[in-house]
Structure formats: structure tokens, C-alpha cells
Structure 1
Amino acid sequence: MRKLYYLIYILPLAVLISCSKDLPTELAYENYVFSSTDEDGGNWTPILLSSGSEIMIAEPKETSSAEYQAELMEVKNAIASITSQQKENLKKWTNNPVIRWNEIALELIAKYNLIPGPNEDGSYTLPNPANPEGPPVFPFSHPPYASRALAYMSVAQFDGLISAWHYKYKYNRAAPYLQDLEINHAYEENPIPSYPSDGAVIASASAEILKVMFPLEVEYLNSKMSEHLESLLLSGENVQSDIDGGVKIGEEIAALALTRASTDGMKNAQTSKAVSDSIANAAYERFGWMWINQEAPQRPVGLTPLFGKVKMWSVPNVEAIRPPVPPTPGSPAYEEDVKILKGYLAEHSEEYRRIANFWQDGLGTYTPPGHWNEFANAFIVKNKLNTLRAARTMAYMNMAIMDAGISCWDAKYYYHYPRPIQTIEGFETIASTPNFPSYTSGHSVFSAAGAEVLAYIFPDEADKVRGWAKEAAISRVYGGIHWTFDATVGTTQGINAAQYSIDRAKIDGGDNF
């Protein structure tokens, strides 16, 4: 029955997005008229800030002032001398740069998702943030690292834009192209005040977060920020003081986010061998089993054994959603799963292989959390969300995904359950076996969490995204690297984690769309 349970839920992947996995990914879309402007957005409840007014910016100059008129002339002169490259940049950044900065983050995650190899003597050296050039380079952007980078960037964007919306509607300064009809406007008209620039908030906050998460990319990120800020001026939507106000908000909210990050426990997630062994031994004393890495050469420590102790965003503690004890090896429930896995292996189904490969999200990709960010980008465009609503979507989804990942890693190392390749004699996989315990499946947990938040924000897509999450979960069983209970229990775990973020979103003031 368990096999049938999965098969009846497998849905075809929609043509909504192209997931060829060629990276970097960039969604092709034109700028659009927003489906809402959310004049009350400055009153929404932020994540890190106490309110939208907590970050202070100066009152803008009157539009009739000499200072502002000079800024308008600066915009007109810049547009008059625009280059072909600047025109291309304008098309790329569009009027919802939340998506573009998310894609930059996905590009960097994929670039640094390279596992450190062994040294000549067979030992391993871990990436070190104090020496990012390595070898090996820092970071190794594995799924837990990716989920954390995306969560901090998205939360900073969201809080920064709540602050921006507060001042936009407090001062109500119209965009330059509305002040002077000689100024060409590059994008669709959206009647949102220009001071401070929401684009500048996004550029500044995103770049500051990513520069810490990917320290070898500072020059690249600074160039992207400069390109984006220049495009804001050339678009006719902002004068320099709009941009300066947005940059100030972005820098301040990024600093708050990075302060939280510095004490969230991630720096201790990758442990020494002694600590790793003690965690394994504790599980063995508790349950009578432990996971053993099957690689050759064998890495001495599993991936981030203490990620399960990292500070969560919305879930009160990992015990609140810790899954039940998995089946004891040799028990009837375990033997039933052995038969199911052997059955999949014997079938050699092309469909199973396609599903396993599509959802692999292994080394050199943007990982499972990144996969769900790509889905979210497409839904944001389809529903024509403004920058504030786009950032809200990403913040709650990525907080849920990170919380779910923390819960998953807690279960992995608390139960320390062996993978099929360890306990089924002669068993083979069609997917590479990860360097951490089996129960629960990270793909299942990450995907279920992402799907639940997207189902809440985009209810018309609920069946679709939940079907994708179930396919992501079963893909790991088809690949031979997980038990079916890793996937089924992991899916429930991800849903439970996401519900805390959804409950938080329902009372933030933005649930009136």
C-alpha cells in the first residue's frame, strides 16, 4: 500500500518554469503592472525590526526646492547619455528586483556547492571563513548553508521594504517621471511613491548579506549593486536622494540581520571528529544503531552535525516537531521497506530515474532550497506581485525552509539512522549517497515546507506545489538513498515546520491580498 500511496500522488511537473538546471538561472519576464500597491505595507509586522519606523531616514526635500530640481536635471542628463549596455541593464533589472537578487544568490549557491575533496594523505580540511580562499574555498554551500543564506537575505529584504513603505506613504513623493514629463520612464507605471527607493533597499540589503555569506564575491556583488543602483536612476523612477534613503535602510537592516546570524549557532554546526563520534555513540546507546559513512575514502565527520541546534525563526524549538522513532532494523516495518526499495531497484523504471534525476539537486546546483526559490520567482511574476509582496513571499518561505532544515538535521543526528546502502547487502543506488544520516529526508522536509508556504500565498497553485513536494520526496526513494518512511515522515515534518511561519504570516497585516 505504501508504494501505491506515493504513485497516486505523483503529478506531472508544470510547464510554468523551465528547470533544465543550467545555471545561473534567470527568469525571462517583462516589467509589469503590480496587482496591488499595499499602501498600508508600512504598518505590517516585520521580522527583525519592531516596526517600519525603527530605522530613521531624513525627511526628503520638497519637490519645488532647488535641490530636488537639480536631482531631476541629473536624471534627465543621465538618461540623455544612456549607453546600449545601460539599456540592457534596465531590461534585466525590471521593476521587481527581488527576483534578480534571489537569482544572484542561487547562482552563488550553485557556484560554491562543491564538496571539499581529500588531501593527498587522505585527510580532509574544512572550509574556513577566516581563510575563505582556502584551500578549500569557503563556503561549501550545501543545503543547510543555502537555506540559511536565502533566509537571511529574504528577511532583510522584507523588513527593509516595510520600512521603505512606511516612509513612502508618509512623505508621498511622486517618481521623477511624474514630476517632469520630459523624463523617459523605462518601466510600467505603478503609483508607488519614490522616496525612499525600494529598489535601493533591495540592492543594498541583498548585497550586504551575500557579501558575508560569500566573502570571495565582494567585488562581483559590489558591481551588481552599482549596476542596479544606476539602473534605478536611469529608469526615471528615482532621483539620487531616493536611492540614498533606500541604501541607508538596506545597510541598517542588513546589519541587524547579520548580527543575528553571528550568534545563531551556525559557526558551530560543523563539528570535530570527537564531537561527531560522541553524537553517534549517544544514538547507538539510545537506539542500538548508528549511521556509518559508506564513502571511500571515508570522511571522518558527517555534514554539519549540529545544524539542528541553530536558532530557528518561527518554530519554538526542535523538539516541538521532532518526528517519531523510525523502525528498528530487522523489524516487520523495516523489512517491508526493504522489499519496497528492492522492488524499485529491480524495475529500473525510466520514469523513476527521470524523477530521481530531476530532483537530485546535488553538487554544483542551487540545492533543494534553491529549487523552491525558483518556483517562487515564477509564481511572483505570474501573480504580478510588487516588491514588498514578493519579499514577503520569499521571507516566509525561506524562514520555513530553514526551520524545516534545522528540524531535519536535528532528527538526522538524534536518531542517526543508517541509509539503505549500509544495511541492505548488495544494494545499489542511482543517486550519490550524502554524507549524513538517513532519517528524515532533507529533500522531503525542505520541499514540503516550501510547498506549504507557496500553497498559502498562492492558493490556486496549492495542488500543484504539494504534488511537486511529494514527487521530490519519493525521488530520493527512487534514487535508492532513502527509506520510504524517511520521505513520508519528512513530508509531515516539513509541513509542521511551515505551519509556524504561516501562522506568523496570517497576523502580520499582509494577509489581505
Structure 2
Amino acid sequence: MAVVVLGATLLIPATSVSAADPTDMVLEWNVNAINAIGNANGATPPGLGQAPPLSGLQLAIVHAAIYDAVNAIDGTHEPYLDPIHAPPGASEAAAAATAGHDVLVGLVPATLPQVTASLDTLYGISLGKIPDGQAKTDGIAVGAAAAAAMLANRVGDGRANTSRTFPIGTESGEWRPVPPLNANVFSWVGDVRPFALDRTSRLRTEGPPALDSAQYAIEFNEVKAIGAQTGSTRTAAQNELANFIVANPVVLTHRMFRELAVSKHLSTAEQARLFAMGTMSTADAFIACWDNKNFHHFWRPQTAIREAADDGNPATEPDAGWLSLFPTPGYPDSPSGYNCIAAAMMHSAIEFFGTDFVSFDLVGPTTRHYDRFTDYVRDAIDGRILTGFHFRHADVQAAWIGKKAAQWVAKHEFGAVG
């Protein structure tokens, strides 16, 4: 998924000004996680330089641990992993900070000590906001236990098996690397063990329409007209949407979740559950998405438009010089990775808040206001066609994957106790 990285910043809930436990520690460690995972090694603060989809998998590990740590103290919902004993009165803030810190440190390779040092400094700052005493000590112990359990659970989950690449096709409809990037990356994501889904192929889609079908011709001519780098029919508003939708959706949606947590006055336990639902839905949507990419192995619009003379469809015409608006990412078309995360995050929010009708802003290259979570999903579907990256079916089917992943997580994880 081609994205532009925008830095993460922290918003503090109005309720966080307190003589007792800070109530924004989940949000603080969401920012720290976004930066530590996504920032470049030499940035301030330094990070692992990981983009989606990998960053989405890592964030799920972080927030599942934070959830289990905070929920062990709060006790209102089912744990994700085995229950952790929490002494009465343990600090939820200390538990959240410790779980977030310890998981992130566990994800950092020994070759990047500057990232670990930065995380240690941030951890010290977080702990300095929590009153000393037994509650703080107990919270630290709970957070450490949750982090250790989560890291152990994800050992051997497939994230280390990164050598797999996509086969390079030669026949019409088969994916091959797309210039100018000519990349071939992330095929292995489809082999990662899911967090909640019972198997990677649970959300297998119907895939692309037949090359000689009328539907394929419709989608072909749509992206050819509006997704071109030059000579497109895009309007000014469509250009604005295309430039917005190419920004990193992990950063966009997590910032929005933090803003909602503030405006809705969510407690520490509610924040932990919101982010656990969102990140776990995203991770499983990514895994299902790349499982589908491996299965369907469908060519990108740029390849299809250049090679249209051989597709067997009389309603398509080739253009040997056609380029997508932005450089096409290095993996197959169907389904869209961006739409998998956009829909997963939005539908996890629908599951959490119990309604689609929530107003929010997404802040990227521009600020876009929405009154429904699914309004952003619709923009994401249209926007990725405008970038020239996808045929419409790839975006629509990806939105279905994200929705179903979020519904699966809501049904099978984080249930209320009693």
C-alpha cells in the first residue's frame, strides 16, 4: 500500500488532569507505538521504519497487551489471552505504560539500540506522571506480565518468515511488478497467524471479474480515465481526495481514534478496548487481504492498460504509456490493502460505539470531516481508484474484508463479563 507518513501526536482527555492515575496513558502509548514502529531509524523519535501492512500487525500486538493489562485491573471484559492476576487498586496507567513499553522493546532488533533507548526514556516520562506507591508497583507488574504473555503468544506466528515473494506472471490477468518501483513485497503477510480469525482464508473474496466480461471493461475504463498520471478526467475535488487517500491510513485513523477517546471521555479501560478492537481487526484484515492477493494474483491497472491488446475484451483499448497517478505498490491488485484497514478501523468503531453516526475529522494533507464512519469507507473506495492503484472490485471487496474482520473480532473477543 503506497502511503505518505504523517507524524503522530498526542491529545489529552479533559479528564486526565487529576491528582491520581493519569487517564490518557493508553493514548500516550498509542502515539509512542505509532512513532516507534513507523518512524525512520534516524527520525525524532527514532523508529523501526515499518509501513503497513507490517505496522498494522505490530500495533495489534502492542494494543492486545495493553488491553489485557488494563482489563486485568478493570475486570469488566474477557481477556484476550489467559487471565492475569491484578491486586486490587493496581494502577491502570502503570499497567498500560509498562505493557506498551515492554512489547515495543520486544519488537526492536538489537541492531537498533537507539529505538530501545528512546522507548526507555518515554517510559520513564510516563511513570513519572503516576504517583509512587503500591498501586504503581502493582500496575507495573501487571503490565509486564501482559507484555511477556503477548510476546510469547506471537513467537513463530509468521512475521519473521519474510522471504516469500509473489510469483511473476506472464499471462493476461496475472500480476507482475509495476514500474517505476518494480517492487515485489509482503507476500508473506498472507501466511501470518491471525489474531482472532480461525484461519487466514476465512475471508476469501470472489476476486476479479473475468477479463472478457462487461464488468471488467467498465472497471478498466473507469480507472483508465480517472486514475492516470496525465490526461485524466479527474476534477479538482477528485485530485484532492486522491492526494488525501495516499496518506498513511494507520496514522490517520489512530489519530482520529485518540480524538474520539478525548471527545467521548472514554475511561482508560474503554480506550484500551477501543484500540485493541481496532488494531486486531486491522491486523486480521491485513492478513486476510494478503491471503487474497496471493490467491487471486491479479494484475494492477497500469499493467492491464498497457497490455489490454491481449486481454480478449473488445471494450478495452491499450495505452502503452499509461501511468498511475502515484507509483503503484509492489503487490497484486485484489483486494486493496488500504481499504482493508480503512474498513476494519471504521467498522470496529461501529462495533464499539454501537452506531455508524459519529462525527469526526481525519487530518492528513487536508482535513476531511465525516458524519458517519462508513462515509470514510466510501471515500477510500473511490480514492484508491483515483490514485490509479485499483480496479473498483478490489476496493469494494477489501471493504467487505475489513467489515467482516471487525465483526468477527467483536463477536469472538473482548466480550463483557456477566
TM-score normalised according to structure 1 size:
0.66
Task: Give 1:293's aligned amino acid.
Answer: P
Q: How big is the shift at 1:139?
A: 4.1
Structure 1 residues 350, 288: closer, same or farther in 2, change over 3 A? closer
Output the CA distance in 2 between the equivalents of 1:491 and 1:231: 40
Q: How big is the shift at 1:248?
A: 0.8
Output the CA distance in 2 between the equivalents of 1:199 and 1:507: 22
Q: How big is the shift at 1:359?
A: 1.9
Structure 1 residues 506, 22: closer, same or farther in 2, change over 3 A? closer
**Does the alignment pair 1:198 with 2:86?**
no
Task: Provide the residue aligned with 2:368 in structure 1.
Answer: none
Q: Structure 1 regions of 5+ residues with no counterpart?
A: 1-19, 35-78, 80-89, 115-136, 168-192, 234-238, 362-366
Q: How big is the shift at 1:228?
A: 0.9
Q: How big is the shift at 1:28?
A: 5.3
Residue pairs, 1:159-308, within 5 angstroms: 159-166=68-75, 195-215=89-109, 216=112, 217-233=115-131, 239-268=132-161, 270-271=162-163, 275-276=164-165, 279-280=167-168, 289-296=173-180, 298-299=182-183, 302-308=184-190
Task: Provide the residue aligned with 1:9 in structure 2.
Answer: none
Cα deviations across residues 101-147 of structure 1 (Å, max 9, x unaligned)? Answer: 10111222331399xxxxxxxxxxxxxxxxxxxxxx99441212111
Output the CA distance in 2 between the equivalents of 1:166 and 1:505: 14
Cα deviations across residues 329-368 of structure 1 (Å, max 9, x unaligned)? Answer: 343221111211133243131111111111212xxxxx32
Structure 1 residues 25, 143: closer, same or farther in 2, change over 3 A? same
Output the CA distance in 1 between the equivalents of 2:33 and 2:130: 20
Q: Specify the SS of the correspondent of 2:160.
A: helix
Q: How big is the shift at 1:376?
A: 1.2
**Does the alignment pair 1:111 with 2:39?**
yes
Output the CA distance in 2 between the equivalents of 1:358 and 1:27: 22
Output the CA distance in 2 between the equivalents of 1:350 and 1:231: 47
Structure 1 residues 156, 113: closer, same or farther in 2, change over 3 A? same
Task: Provide the residue aligned with 1:406 in structure 2.
Answer: 287
Match of 2:253 among 368, 372, 375: 372
Structure 1 residues 475, 394: closer, same or farther in 2, change over 3 A? same
TM-score normalised according to structure 2 size:
0.80
Q: How big is the shift at 1:21?
A: 7.0
Match of 1:155 among 64, 79, 99: 64
Output the CA distance in 2 between the equivalents of 1:113 and 1:464: 36
Q: How big is the shift at 1:374?
A: 1.6
Task: Give 2:376's aligned amino acid.
Answer: W
Q: How big is the shift at 1:427?
A: 2.1
Cα deviations across residues 384-433 of structure 1 (Å, max 9, x unaligned)? Answer: 11111110111111111100000000111111111111110232222231
Match of 2:233 among 318, 333, 347: 347
Task: Provide the residue aligned with 1:59 in structure 2.
Answer: none
Cα deviations across residues 49-84 of structure 1 (Å, max 9, x unaligned)? Answer: xxxxxxxxxxxxxxxxxxxxxxxxxxxxxx9xxxxx
Output the CA distance in 1 between the equivalents of 2:285 and 2:252: 15
Task: Provide the residue aligned with 2:379 in structure 1.
Answer: 471
Task: Give 1:156's aligned amino acid.
Answer: A
Output the CA distance in 1 between the equivalents of 2:189 and 2:5: 27
Q: How big is the shift at 1:253?
A: 0.8
Task: Give 2:209's aligned amino acid.
Answer: P
Output the CA distance in 2 between the equivalents of 1:260 and 1:324: 32
Q: How big is the shift at 1:280?
A: 4.7
Structure 1 residues 253, 358: closer, same or farther in 2, change over 3 A? same
Match of 1:430 among 316, 319, 325: 325
Asked if the contact 1:280/1:413 (under 8 Å) is kept, the reply is no
Structure 1 residues 221, 194: closer, same or farther in 2, change over 3 A? farther
Residue pairs, 1:85-104, within 5 angstroms: 94-104=22-32
Q: Specify the SS of the correspondent of 1:142.
A: coil
Q: Structure 2 regions of 5+ residues with no counterpart?
A: 77-86, 307-320, 360-370
Match of 2:301 among 420, 427, 433: 420
Match of 2:242 among 347, 350, 356: 356
Output the CA distance in 2 between the equivalents of 1:405 and 1:25: 24
Residue pairs, 1:60-79, within 5 angstroms: none
**Does the alignment pair 1:24 with 2:8?**
yes
Structure 1 residues 507, 197: closer, same or farther in 2, change over 3 A? closer
Output the CA distance in 2 between the equivalents of 1:430 and 1:214: 35
Asked if the contact 1:313/1:403 (under 8 Å) is kept, the reply is yes
How many residues in Structure 1 have an aligned counterpart in Structure 2? 367
